[in-house]
Amino acid sequence: MSSGSSSNLSLKERMISAGVGSLLTSMILTPMDVVRIRLQQQEIIPDCSCVVDSPKSKLSAPVDVNGTVFWQDSCFKDINCRNSSVRYSGTMDAFRKIIQTEGVSTLWRGITVTLLMAIPANVVYFTGYEYLRDLSPLNKTSPSLNPLFCGAFARIFAASTVAPFELVKTRLQSIPKYDKSTASWHIFKDLMQETKKEISSGGYKVLFRGLEITLWRDVPFSAIYWGSYEFIKKHFWGVRDDLLYIENQSNWNHFVNSFLSGCISGATAAIFTHPFDVGKTRWQISVMSNNEKSTLPVRNSNDLGKNMFKSLNLIRQNEGIGALYTGLFARIAKIAPSCAIMISSYEISKRLFSS
């Protein structure tokens, strides 16, 4: 929606608009998020079949597998090891195998956490962006740069607000089931117990693990996204006069314009920032060198860098540059329609409120 038309909306109306978009986006596209994370994490979870069942004790004794410490516990065996026979060759293969081995409901695992995270994050993000965009001095002096800087700042606030939810969601979606009978709530309960142990040993800062690399991904993503979106709106929608545009544009045309613009802008931003997404996923599901009791192991976890660029460079050196683009198709397949659904729902909701 153009700035002039949206400026009269109340905070409540903006929140409802963002909430509607968040709900639709999360319900439709969470499966693509699950597949993306599985594809990105499968190389760093080791092949093993030697975790000893010990249903009567939690984390009772360590088992060393190829130099990596694991903990005997039947409740966590699906976290500790990856069945070597379950390998995903691509996005569609991952969909098929997840449904066959774990059940279709697994594709929506973490949806509650996603909604708890997405709704407040998008309220902060979208309303924050519009307020910054309209009030920024760059709006008059450098209108082309204004959406880049405002989108970046809005994303910093939003990502920092929901970082703990993002960490839990990423870990929850990365954990495979051994069979369809395993209850998702049981996996979530065990994950929460592990998270509490991490907080006890490392403090609440562990909840923000990966925030730095999340910002490295999301801040440039937002800058590219909003810059592209505003450019397309101005040069392809023909938005010159806000009020004239509102009077002459039907709701359907406005929906189509915002949907296509969001799709193109989201795909463009996703391509440029995907290596950071790979790094973020690995950081959040990896064992850090000072956390030997974690049940989220990686191969050669001590090689993980302590900063974003070192981590990405290590991935490039050890696995090739292609590893930095693992899951790109799945991410674009999720991000492009996600941005399209979110922005078009948000724009139409605001338009209905303003009318």
Domains of the chain, first to last: 11-38+88-174+210-290+302-354 (1.50.40.10)
* Burial status of residue 290 (CB atoms within 10 A of its CB: 0-12, 13-18, 19 or more): exposed
pLDDT reported for residue 57:
35
Q: What is the pLDDT of residue 216?
A: 83
Other C-beta atoms within 10 Å of 181: how many?
A: 7
Write the DSSP string, 301-334.
GGGS-SSHHHHHHHHHHHH-GGGGGTTHHHHHHH
- pLDDT digit string, tens, across residues 193-247: 888 888 888 888 888 876 877 788 889 999 999 999 989 888 877 655 454 455 5
Report the distance separating Cα 122 and Cα 117, nearest Å: 9
pTM beyond 0.75: the answer is: no
C-beta neighbour count of 117 within 10 angstroms: 23
- The answer to whether residues 91 and 82 touch, using CB atoms and an 8 Å cutoff, is no
CB burial class (10 A; 0-12, 13-18, 19+) of residue 171?
buried
For residue 2, CA distances in Å to 40, 246, 346 come to 38, 9, 12
295 vs 335, residue with greater confidence: 335
Q: How far apart are CA 221 and CA 159, in angstroms?
A: 12
Mean pLDDT value across residues 291-297 = 40
Residue 7 confidence (pLDDT): 55
**Rounded CA gap, 227 and 230, in Å?**
5
pLDDT for 286 equals 62
Identify the weakest region by mean pLDDT among 117-121, 149-153, 170-174, 181-185: 181-185
Where is mean pLDDT largest: 81-95, 123-137, 283-297?
123-137
Q: Give residue 314's identity as a one-letter amino acid code.
A: L
What does 68-95 look like in DSSP terms, one character per residue?
A: EEEE--GGGHHHH-B-TT----SHHHHH
Read off the pLDDT band of 55 (50, 70, 90). Answer: very low
> Which tens digits make up the pLDDT trace of 137-165?
998 899 889 999 999 999 998 888 888 88
Residue 181 has pLDDT above 50, yes or no: yes
Q: Which tokens is 47 given?
A: 């092949």
Categorize the per-residue pLDDT at 43 as very low, low, confident or very high, splitting at 50, 70 and 90: low
Of the listed ranges 70-74, 106-110, 114-118, 183-187, the least confidently predicted one is: 70-74
Q: Do residues 72 and 54 touch, judged by C-beta distance below 8 A?
A: yes
